[in-house]
A = this chain, B = another copy of it.
Amino acid sequence: MVRAGLTPERLTRAGAELADEVGFDQVTVSALARRFDVTIASLYSHLKNSQDLKTRIALFALEELADRVAAALAGRAGKDALAAFADAYRDYAREHPGRYAAARLRLDPTTAAASAGVRHAQMTRAILRGYDLTEPDQTHAVRMLGSVFHGYVSLEMGGGFSHTAVDPQESWSWIVDSLDVLLRSWTTP
User: Are A149 and B151 closer than 8 Å at their CB atoms?
Assistant: yes
**Which interface class (under 10, 10 to 19, 20 to 34, 35 or more) fits A?**
35 or more
On whether the beta carbons of A155 and B146 are closer than 8 Å, the reply is yes
Known: A147-B151, A148-B147. Is A121-B163 also a contact (CB below 8 A)?
Answer: yes
Residues of chain B within 8 A (CB-CB) of A160 are 146
B-contact 0/1 string along A165-189, CB 8 Å cutoff: 0101011001100100110011000
CB pair B150 A155 closer than 8 Å: yes
Chain B CB within 8 A of A161 CB: yes
A35 CB-CB contact with B under 8 Å? no
Asked whether, in the complex, the Cβ of B148 is within 8 Å of the Cβ of A171, the reply is no
Bound-state Cα–Cα, A164 to B143, Å: 10
Copies in the complex: 2
Q: How far is the CA of A158 from the CA of B104 in the complex (A)?
A: 8
| Residue in B147, B149, B155 whose beta carbon sits within 8 Å of that of A143 in the complex | B155
- Which residues of A are at the interface with B, using a C-beta cutoff of 8 A? 25, 104, 106, 109, 121, 135-137, 139-140, 143-144, 146-152, 154-155, 158-164, 166, 168, 170-171, 174-175, 178, 181-182, 185-186
Identify the 10 closest CB pairs spanning chains A and B, nearest first: A151-B151, A147-B151, A147-B152, A140-B174, A139-B166, A140-B171, A150-B151, A143-B171, A136-B166, A144-B175
